[in-house]
Amino acid sequence: MLDFLRRFYAHTAGKIITILVGLLFIVGFSFLPYILGVGRGVSPRDAATVAGKGISLNELSRYYGKLENEYEKLYGKKLTQKELSELDLTGSALSSLIADRVLESKKDVFGINVSDGFIARNIASFQVFQKDGKFSDRLFKSVLLSNHTTPASFEKKYKAQIIRTYIRRIIGESFSLADVQFLNDYKIKNKSVSFEIAVFGSKNKAGGFLKKAVIYNKDFSGQAKKYGGTVRKVPLFSEIDLVKSAYFKKYSISGSILKSIFSTGQGEVVSGVFPVKSGYAAIKILKVYFPEYVSDANAKGGGEALLKEKELYGFQKEQEFLDDYVDYLESKSNVKINRSALSAFHPY
């Protein structure tokens, strides 16, 4: 057997076959994740694909850097690795890139066609590419070269940006907002709640009382005292004012307690016992008050202030509508994530 192998490797054909087998072995293992679908059919060089088109890890890295710069300008300092991790810039960057690709993939659905001539005319109008008021091809290429990109790449990205802008505009134009929505939302956001809070020394006592209080829902204060609880009435507070109040600190009111208080109806006992600073609490909602929107249109700037507030509210709701619509389009698109590549992703 050894003699056969010596003769085999000594022969030229044997050497060639050995090299080919070695290459196949290396290449096979390099692309094994892709062949076996570890990235769910995504190329190892891509972070994700949308409708079969890849989002490269280099693109993700560039977008990550863009977000990092924006946040550092916002905070006015260089962010630490811990702060960057808490912001989850990788997730935000990938979500934005996926949303962009989804919109671009729907251009035919929305009937959008951006011609090369349109792109050329717009680029020629950019002052940064002009010399003496006219477009300069040399300056155009020089600026792009200094930014490490090519004319073809720049034009492709610019065209994609225009397509996304037009689609967002079409979606936005289908959005409408009635005044009653603004007023109702104002009432909900600014509602006030008053409640009784009964505090017990043990969780068992609080739980026993709560069962009876929920079933009978009568004489909350009197029944709580029979179970050894101390009861305090909290006057009307909006959520923001309650957080600022002494009650918030006294009872160490948590986010889950706040949510339960402001989502429970008037006259109802909040389901659940909550740990507070001095024991365990049960809560009954006494009153829920929804304020009317008051604007003195006769006062100086009153009508203008109301109009601006409505415009801001409308803009926020339109953005929410756009985001939800893009999410819907994304759910109907063929999006694949390369989780193995993302787990090993480092932006720099």
Listed residues 242, 271, 289: the one ending a domain: 289
Please report the pLDDT score of residue 127 as a whole number: 93
What whole-number distance in Å separates Cα of residue 260 and Cα of residue 241? 16
> What DSSP character marks residue 165?
H
pLDDT in tens, the chain (348 residues): 434 334 444 444 444 434 433 433 333 333 333 333 344 567 889 999 998 889 999 999 999 999 899 888 888 889 888 888 888 889 889 988 999 999 999 888 888 989 999 999 999 999 999 999 999 999 999 999 998 899 999 999 999 999 998 888 888 887 777 777 777 788 888 899 999 999 999 999 999 898 888 777 788 998 899 889 999 999 999 999 999 999 998 898 888 899 999 999 999 999 889 999 889 999 999 999 998 776 554 555 556 766 777 777 777 777 778 788 888 888 888 899 999 888 888 887
Residue 234 lies in a domain: yes
Cα 177 to Cα 216: distance, rounded to the nearest angstrom: 43
Amino acid at 78: K
Q: Is 138 domain-assigned?
A: no
Domain count, the chain: 2
User: Of 254, 289, 324, which residue constitutes the final position of a domain?
Assistant: 289
Tokens 């996926």 correspond to what residue? 98
pLDDT reported for residue 37: 38
Read off φ and ψ for residue 281, nearest 5 degrees.
-115, 145
Distance, C-alpha 289 to centroid of its chain: 32
pLDDT of res. 30: 39
252 close to 245: Cβ distance less than 8 angstroms? no
Q: What is the DSSP letter of 109?
A: T
Residue 147 domain-assigned (yes or no):
no
Nearest to 112, CA basis, from 166, 161, 168, 174: 166
For the chain, what is the radius of gyration of the CA atoms? 32
> Which tokens sit at 263?
């989502």
Q: Is residue 239 part of a domain?
A: yes
Torsion of CA 90, 95, 97, 100, to 10 degrees: -160
Classify residue 212: in a domain, yes or no: yes
Q: Which domain holds residue 23?
A: 2-30
Give the span between the Cα atoms of 104 and 96, in whole angstroms.
12
Residues 6+ apart with CB under 8 A from 1: none
Contact criterion met (CB below 8 Å) for 279 and 232? no
Question: Which CATH number goes with the domain that contains 234?
Answer: 3.10.50.40
Question: Within a domain: residue 15?
Answer: yes
With contact defined as beta carbons under 8 Å apart, do 158 and 166 qualify? no
SS3 (DSSP) at 247: helix
Domain assignment present for 26: yes
* Domain end marker among 240, 260, 289: 289
pLDDT for residue 168: 86
Q: Is 177 helix (H, G, I), strand (E, B) or coil?
A: coil
CA distance 276 to 258: 12
- pLDDT of 14 reads 45
Helices within the chain (DSSP H only): 2-10, 12-30, 32-36, 57-75, 81-87, 89-105, 116-124, 137-146, 151-173, 179-189, 203-216, 220-226, 239-244, 246-250, 255-261, 302-331, 339-343
In this structure, what token pair is assigned to residue 133? 């008021």
Residue indicated by tokens 């090369």: 116
Burial label, 304 (beta-carbon count in 10 A; 0-12, 13-18, 19+): exposed
* Contact indicator for 275, 260 with CB cutoff of 8 Å: no
Domain for residue 227, yes or no? yes
Listed in sequence order, the residues at least 6 apart from 252 whose beta carbon sits closer than 8 Å to its beta carbon are 276, 277
